[in-house]
Amino acid sequence: MQELVRVNEKVVGSETVQTVNARDLYEFLGSKRQFADWIKERIELYDFVQDVDFIQFHKNVNGSIKPLTEYFLTLDMAKELSMVERNEKGKQARLYFIECERRAKNPLAALEDPAAMRTLLLSYADKVVERDKLIGYIQPKAEALDRISQASGSMCITDAAKTLQVKPQELFSLLSKNRWIYKRSDGRRWVAYQDRLQQQVLEHKITTIDRTDGSKKVTERVLVTPKGLTRLAELVSVIA
């Protein structure tokens, strides 16, 4: 079967179905009208419903002031639009879409048709790309959860570095660059930024130490909370 118009799988409503780009169908049918006028009139005249018979989206095109509106039509809508053209091209397209539906119900038939195989492979390639994008988004989060699965309670930055499997100096540098912590003017102690304390990703721990001479020493340390550790684990996974 010769490929007349490329068929793609798209989600229409809540169902994944075979669709065709309305612009591709319009060009095959050879209509003399402007595409925008042609498709809008057809939708209104034959009462086609968005997200039932077709979906639409806008895309920006270089050199164009207005975004381009694209329509993807279900095969039922594509067959009807082909039929109402009342010409040989329309008849040819309608029979082509009927055959596409038949082959979709019998996938083995595509093995004997190079054009159909090409369409299936292109559709599969699109799905692989989308899958890889999804994996790229999910994997850092999965790694982050795995890294903190054994951790509980707030911990000092050095211990947090061990949990995250990074060097302490690297974590201190990361926290400083991303405005989690800073050093006071004396340059001796790290302090959490106020907004990080409010976000409850860091906290300050004040400890009083009794000296041998009877005096007391007050120390303050920055601790990473479980919530902060989760966020840091994601950040470390992304930049690793």
* Per-residue model confidence (pLDDT) at position 1: 62
The predicted model scores a pTM of 0.46
**Alpha carbon distance 6, 114 (integer Å):** 13
* Residues whose CB falls within 8 Å of the CB of residue 164, separated by 6 or more in sequence, listed in order: 147, 171, 229, 232, 233, 236
- pLDDT tens track for 12-52: 988 889 999 999 999 999 998 999 999 999 999 999 999 99
For residues 207 and 111, which has the higher predicted lDDT (pLDDT)?
Answer: 207
Which tens digit of pLDDT belongs to each residue from 169-197? 999 999 999 999 998 777 778 899 999 99
Rounded to 10 deg, the angle between the 157-164 and 226-239 helix axes is 50
Quick check: 135 pLDDT over 90? no
Q: Output 180 or 122, whichever has higher pLDDT.
A: 180
Q: Answer yes or no: is pLDDT of 87 > 50.
A: yes
Q: What is the mean pLDDT of the chain?
A: 81
Structure confidence at residue 149 (pLDDT) = 47
* Mean pLDDT along residues 231-236: 80
pLDDT at 225 over 70: yes
Q: What is the share, in percent, of the chain residues with pLDDT greater than 90?
A: 38
Going 138 to 141 to 143 to 149, the CA torsion angle's sign is negative
* Domains of the chain, residue spans: 7-105, 148-239
Segment 91-115, tens digit of pLDDT: 999 999 998 888 777 655 555 566 6
pLDDT above 70 covers a percentage of the chain that reads: 78
- pLDDT at position 151 is 52
For range 71-94, the mean pLDDT: 94
Cα separations in angstroms, 43 against 22, 51, 75, 80, 150: 11, 12, 14, 11, 58
> Which range, 32-46, 64-78, 153-167, 197-211, has the best average confidence (pLDDT)?
32-46
The confidence band for 125, taking pLDDT boundaries of 50, 70 and 90, is low
Q: How far apart are CA 127 and CA 162, in angstroms?
A: 38
The one-letter amino acid code at 228 reads: G
